[in-house]
């Protein structure tokens, strides 16, 4: 007999929140039945109206708080409740770090069955605001002018935004100026329903150390009205502008960037530093959005690698060479592999930019390239992986186990897939020694972590 659901839609219930979901909603249980409620915090007692009921869980709306968490704060952003960019502004930063640490520990135990791993307290930021160096703003129209901001939660309705508290202030300033110039020169916003109009997104990249600015206009076609005057106005009015780029995306899609990129003014790239390493960043380059915490993350990966200068290191999922170039400073040789050809071109360019000659990069799937290297006699003392959110490919994990590498350093942006992959590596003969969570995205539920594993 199926279990009866203890609540009904539109019913009001008093609940106590026990946890947070990976999207930042409060989790309460009514006779064991989970309710997910935006705005609820662990330890709080509240009146909740049930808005949706499913077989395994339901959703509710927070109506009244009876008991507040000591970590509850007033969200400083005026559009926090409408915007979908942050989930945790109502939780103090101390509370956020505790919640993220708990999340990492719990998934390691629940998914990875890892009971005796040392999980260190989360490394947070001294100033957890205005950290993002890249702004991607969807553009719409309202009362004859251009608006830009974030999509309202779970909709494609644009909330106009002049300032964002997690963006670099420079980005906000540049978006405001470019939006106003485009509006003045008769540039119409793209209409995703009718598939008409011109301007889809304004993207701004800001070099935190260098002060260089890149503006990318993402448009439906390359035929830009009043092009020369528009370019001249942006070049004149955007302080620090180094690169103005047109990216053409003519597809009916919610993917932001298209395949075609044209430099309208200045250079193709801007530059920035993470630590002492200089990076060239193009419009479509992947580059960490929080360089301050990226250095914290990579310093920890470097510490866990334990390099003396004599080691050969393989960097799987090397991207544009960010971790590879850090490792190369302290290793004998680094081999990086990445499936995206443009990223490998960036990695080679960045190695050259820094005069690093002991890093070699190859295009391909790590699970295919690394076994080929192994057959050619290229083995490694240390392997570093920094996979996407879905975690490591199963074939790569099998390769790591077969190669019997002495040490693995796993850099993760998803604690759940980290836990899953650590379990597989442990079953293959590795021991997880310690895990260091790092907060790269304050005010959101995202948490990165670095794990250190040795062959036993």
Helix or strand or coil: residue 234?
Answer: helix
Instruction: Report yes or no on 330 lying in a domain.
Output: yes
Distance CA(447)–CA(102), nearest Å, equals: 11
Number of folded domains that form the chain: 3
Q: Give the 3-state secondary structure of residue 272.
A: strand
H or E stretch including 397?
helix 394-403
- CA–CA separation, 456 vs 454, rounded Å? 6
* Selected catalytic residue, list 77, 164, 413, 447: 413
Burial 339-355 (b: 16+ CB within 10 A, else e): ebeebbebbbbbbebbe
- Looking at the chain, the number of H-run helices and the number of E-run strands are 9, 22
Is the domain of 408 the same as that of 318?
yes
* pLDDT over threshold 70, residue 1: no
* CATH number of the domain to which 59 belongs: 2.40.50.140
Q: What pLDDT, on a 0 to 100 scale, did the predictor assign at position 343?
A: 92
Give the rounded distance of the alpha carbon of 12 from its chain centre. 36
Is residue 203 within 8 A of residue 266, CB to CB? The reply is no
Q: Are 147 and 158 in contact (CB under 8 A)?
A: yes
- Digit-coded pLDDT (tens) for 371-426: 899 889 888 999 999 999 999 999 999 999 999 999 999 999 999 999 999 999 99
Domain of 141, CATH number, reads 2.40.50.1070
212 lies in the same domain as 359: no
Listed residue (449, 451, 389, 386) closest to 425, CA to CA: 451
Residue 443 and residue 298 share a domain: yes
> What pLDDT sits at residue 339?
93
Looking at the structure, tell me whether residues 259 and 303 fall in a common domain: no
Claim to verify: residue 437 and residue 346 sit in the same structural domain? yes
Which tokens in the block code for residue 6?
């203890």
Is residue 87 a part of any domain in this protein?
Answer: no
Contact 311, 335 (CB under 8 A): no
**Cβ atoms of residues 272 and 281 within 8 Å:** yes
| One domain, residues 320 and 187 | no
pLDDT tens track for 89-130: 999 999 999 999 999 999 999 999 999 999 999 999 999 999
Known catalytic membership, residue 413: yes
Q: Report the C-alpha gap between 277 and 326 in whole angstroms.
A: 7
Mean pLDDT taken over the chain: 94
Q: How far apart are CA 364 and CA 401, in angstroms?
A: 20
Identify whether residues 140 and 181 lie together within a single domain.
yes
Query: What's the rounded Cα separation, in Å, for the pair 246 and 216?
Result: 6
CATH code of residue 316: 3.40.50.150
The answer to whether residue 429 sits within a structural domain is yes
State pTM to two decimals: 0.92
Structural domain boundaries enclosing 211: 134-274
Give the model's pLDDT for residue 300.
98
In-domain check, residue 85: no
Same domain, 312 and 374: yes
Is 352 a domain residue? yes
Domain end: 208, 243, 274, which one?
A: 274
| 88 belongs to a structural domain | no
Asked if residue 120 lies in contact with residue 437, where contact means CB atoms within 8 angstroms, the answer is yes
The answer to whether residues 29 and 169 belong to one domain is no
Do both 112 and 249 map to the same domain?
Answer: no
Contact 444, 24 (CB under 8 A): yes
> Distance between terminal CA atoms of the chain?
48
Least confident piece of the model among 30-34, 57-61, 154-158, 287-291: 154-158
- Cα–Cα distance measured from residue 116 to residue 437, given in angstroms and rounded to the nearest whole number: 16
In this prediction, residue 225 carries a pLDDT of 87
For residue 331, name the pLDDT band (cuts at 50, 70, 90).
Answer: very high
Check pLDDT > 60 for residue 2.
no
Cβ-based neighbour number of residue 327 at 10 Å:
29
Q: How confident is the model at residue 159 (pLDDT cuts 50, 70, 90)?
A: confident
What is the average per-residue pLDDT within 12-24? 95
Q: Name 362's bridge partners.
A: 337
pLDDT digits (tens, 9 = 90+) for 348-362: 999 999 999 999 999
pLDDT at 161: 87
Between the alpha carbon of residue 380 and those of residues 9, 310, 335, 406, 412, the distances in Å are 58, 11, 9, 8, 21
Same domain, 217 and 270: yes
Same domain? 150 vs 189: yes
What integer pLDDT is reported at residue 213 of this predicted model?
A: 98
């Amino acid at each position: 007999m199926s279990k009866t659901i203890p609540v009904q839609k539109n019913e009001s219930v008093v609940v106590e929140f026990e946890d947070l979901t990976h999207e930042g909603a409060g989790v309460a249980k009514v006779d064991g039945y989970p309710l997910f409620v935006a705005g609820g915090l662990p330890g709080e007692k509240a009146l909740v109206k049930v808005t949706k009921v499913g077989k395994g869980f339901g959703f509710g709306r927070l109506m009244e708080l009876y008991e507040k968490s000591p970590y509850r704060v007033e969200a400083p952003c005026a559009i926090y409740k409408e915007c979908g960019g942050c989930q945790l502004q109502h939780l103090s930063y101390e509370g956020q770090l505790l919640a993220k640490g708990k999340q990492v520990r719990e998934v390691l135990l629940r998914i990875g069955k890892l009971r005796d791993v040392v999980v260190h307290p989360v490394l947070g930021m001294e100033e957890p605001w205005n950290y993002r160096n890249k702004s991607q703003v969807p553009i719409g129209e309202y009362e004859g002018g251009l608006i830009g901001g974030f999509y309202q939660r779970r909709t494609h309705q644009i909330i106009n935004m002049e300032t964002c508290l997690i963006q670099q202030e420079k980005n906000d300033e540049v978006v405001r100026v470019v939006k106003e110039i485009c509006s003045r020169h008769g540039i119409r916003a793209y209409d995703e329903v009718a598939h008409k109009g011109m301007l889809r997104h304004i993207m701004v990249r800001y070099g935190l150390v260098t002060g260089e600015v890149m503006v990318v206009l993402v448009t439906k076609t390359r035929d830009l009205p009043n092009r020369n005057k528009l370019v001249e106005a942006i070049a004149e009015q955007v302080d620090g502008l180094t690169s103005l780029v047109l990216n053409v995306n003519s597809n009916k899609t919610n993917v932001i960037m298209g395949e075609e990129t044209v430099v309208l003014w200045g250079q193709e790239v801007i530059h920035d530093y993470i630590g002492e390493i200089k990076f060239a960043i193009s419009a479509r380059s992947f580059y960490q959005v929080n360089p301050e915490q990226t250095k914290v993350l990579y310093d920890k990966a470097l510490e866990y690698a334990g390099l003396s200068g004599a080691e050969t290191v393989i960097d799987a999922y090397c991207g544009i060479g960010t971790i590879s170039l850090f490792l190369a400073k302290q290793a004998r040789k680094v081999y990086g592999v990445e499936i995206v050809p443009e990223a490998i071109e960036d990695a080679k360019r960045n190695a050259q930019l820094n005069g690093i000659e002991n890093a070699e990069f190859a295009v391909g799937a790590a699970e295919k390239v690394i076994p080929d290297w192994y057959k050619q006699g290229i083995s490694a003392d240390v392997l570093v992986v920094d996979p996407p959110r879905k975690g490591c490919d199963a074939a790569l994990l099998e390769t790591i186990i077969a190669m019997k590498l002495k040490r693995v350093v796993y850099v993760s942006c998803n604690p759940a897939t980290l836990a899953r992959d650590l379990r597989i590596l442990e079953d293959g003969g590795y021991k997880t020694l310690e895990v260091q969570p790092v907060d790269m995205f304050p005010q959101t539920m995202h948490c990165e972590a670095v794990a250190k594993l040795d062959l036993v």
